[in-house]
Each structure stands twice: as structure tokens, then as C-alpha cells.
């Protein structure tokens, strides 16, 4: 009888240990974030005024402020991670960081790999050329040479245009602006709000040409299996919209509410 009780006790201990181990291994990303009290988010750090390095080498911008506000609502600290744009989704699915808060447009192709929150701002693809170019539309170009940041939706759009002969690819829009300024390209395509601030921010003589090539909804990218995290980030986003935090951040960087279409 005693021997049987000892065997049962040992088996019971092993079972508890196994269940405890499984529980820890199965913890969701949201659970880990709440345990560590920090969430990691990625962006390029080269997309002003949304995310960029200031003169002291500190990451600042609209995306950074939004990430901090969302983290505050969740009761955690936001930790930024910079990475190149053309590998950013691979970094997310490879679990290098918890989410992407880096001005990523929601597309069907990306939705096959990741989930997105509700849009946290609305933007659009805009063609910019040197001031006084005489162009009225990107369609005015003949054998055009136009710059984009590698891995963006803008590259795909230019690929569909018969009048564009050469698509120049850059790691950042700052390089893109300088290419136009120096006459190495006929113009560039980037987000409307990014291009509009370039003349003052980088002392480049560029202006928007024509209307938007197409509109974009910008969301926060989260791994497919992190459904609880998606729900909580959406809740936090709505909370900062409802209490006026979002509008305050938007006005700080743009003077308008960029969530309003």
C-alpha cells in the first residue's frame, strides 16, 4: 500500500510539473508583454516626420508618440527597434519584435502574412518633383526616372506605369529627396505627409504634382497568431482616440488630425 502511494505521489508531481511547463511555453505574446511590462515595436527610423533620428540620435516622430501612448494605456513601456523596411515583416514573423508601428499600409498581400489593427491614420501615395518642373502629373513624364524606398507599395504602383523607365530604390526617403534635389531623378513617390514636410525639414525644392496616386490605410502589424494582442492594441488605440491623446499627437506633428479623411 505504501509503495503504491509513493508511486502515485511521484506521478502526481510529474504531472503538475509537466502542466506548469506547458503553461509557460504556451504563454501568448500579450501575456509575455504584460509580464515584462514592455512591448517592442519596429520601424525604419528613417521616415520623417513619422519616425526618425533627431540631432541627438534619439528616435522621435508621430509613430513613436503613438506607440508610447498605446503602451501607456496598456500599462507597459514601448521599446523601439529599427530595421530596414524590406525585411521588416520577416522580422515580425520571426519574432524579433512584437509589432510594427512604422507607417505600414494595409494591403491584401501583407494581410496574407500578418494581421493589422484598425487604421491609425490615412495617407496616400503622392508624386513629388522639383519645384518649377512644369509637370502637372506623373503621367507627363516620358521615360521617367522616379525614386521610391525599397519594399514599399509605391514601387509596385510605378511598375504598372508604362511611362516610367527606371525606378530608383533607396533605403530612406531622405536619400530619395536628395536624388531629386541633385537632378539624379525626375521625382519621387512617397506618402503625402512625408513629402510635404521635406522642403522645410531638409531644405529641398520639391512640390506635390497632381493628386494622390491612390489612398492608403495605415495600421499596426501584428503576427497572425497574436489575436489577444491585436484586440488589446485596438482597445488601446481607441482609448487614445476617445480621450483626445491621438488628436493632440497628430496636431503636434501635422497641425491637423490625420485620422480624419
pLDDT in tens, 47-58: 999 999 999 999
pTM of the model: 0.83
Q: Which residue, 180, 169, 194, 192, is CA-closest to 131?
A: 180
In order along its 261 residues, the chain shows pLDDT tens digits of 544 444 444 444 444 444 444 444 458 999 999 999 999 999 999 999 999 999 999 999 999 999 999 999 999 999 999 999 999 999 999 999 999 999 999 999 999 999 999 999 999 999 999 999 999 999 999 999 999 999 899 999 999 999 999 999 999 999 999 999 999 999 999 999 999 999 988 999 999 999 999 999 999 999 999 999 999 999 999 999 999 999 999 999 999 999 987
Residue range 123-215 in CATH 3.40.190.10: yes
Spans of all domains in the chain = 29-122+217-254, 123-215
Q: How many of the other CB atoms lie within 10 Å of CB of 16?
A: 10
- Under CATH, which architecture does the 29-122+217-254 domain have? 3-Layer(aba) Sandwich (3.40)
Residue 164 pLDDT? 98
Residue 26 pLDDT? 53
Residue 17 pLDDT? 41
Amino acid at each position: 500500500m505504501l509503495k503504491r502511494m509513493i508511486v502515485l505521489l511521484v506521478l502526481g508531481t510529474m504531472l503538475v510539473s509537466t502542466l506548469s511547463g506547458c503553461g509557460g511555453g504556451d504563454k501568448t505574446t500579450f501575456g509575455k508583454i504584460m509580464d515584462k511590462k514592455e512591448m517592442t515595436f519596429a520601424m525604419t527610423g528613417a521616415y520623417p516626420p513619422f519616425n526618425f533620428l533627431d540631432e541627438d540620435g534619439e528616435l522621435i516622430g508621430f509613430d513613436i508618440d503613438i506607440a508610447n501612448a498605446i503602451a501607456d494605456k496598456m500599462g507597459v513601456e514601448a521599446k523601439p527597434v529599427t530595421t530596414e523596411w524590406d525585411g521588416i515583416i520577416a522580422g515580425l514573423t520571426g519574432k524579433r519584435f512584437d509589432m510594427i508601428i512604422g507607417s505600414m499600409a494595409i494591403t491584401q498581400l501583407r494581410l496574407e502574412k500578418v494581421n493589422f489593427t484598425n487604421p491609425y491614420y490615412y495617407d496616400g501615395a503622392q508624386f513629388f518633383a522639383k519645384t518649377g518642373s512644369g509637370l502637372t502629373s506623373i503621367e507627363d513624364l516620358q521615360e521617367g526616372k522616379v525614386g521610391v524606398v525599397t519594399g514599399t507599395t509605391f514601387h509596385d504602383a510605378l511598375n504598372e506605369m508604362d511611362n516610367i523607365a527606371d525606378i530608383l530604390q533607396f533605403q530612406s526617403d531622405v536619400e530619395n529627396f536628395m536624388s531629386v534635389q541633385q537632378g539624379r531623378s525626375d521625382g519621387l513617390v512617397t506618402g503625402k505627409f512625408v513629402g510635404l514636410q521635406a522642403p522645410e525639414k531638409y531644405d529641398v525644392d520639391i512640390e506635390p504634382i497632381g493628386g494622390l496616386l491612390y489612398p492608403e490605410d495605415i495600421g499596426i502589424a501584428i503576427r497572425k497568431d497574436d489575436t489577444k494582442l491585436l484586440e488589446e492594441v485596438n482597445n488601446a488605440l481607441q482609448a487614445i482616440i476617445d480621450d483626445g491623446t491621438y488628436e493632440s499627437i497628430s496636431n503636434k506633428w501635422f497641425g491637423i488630425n490625420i485620422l480624419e479623411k
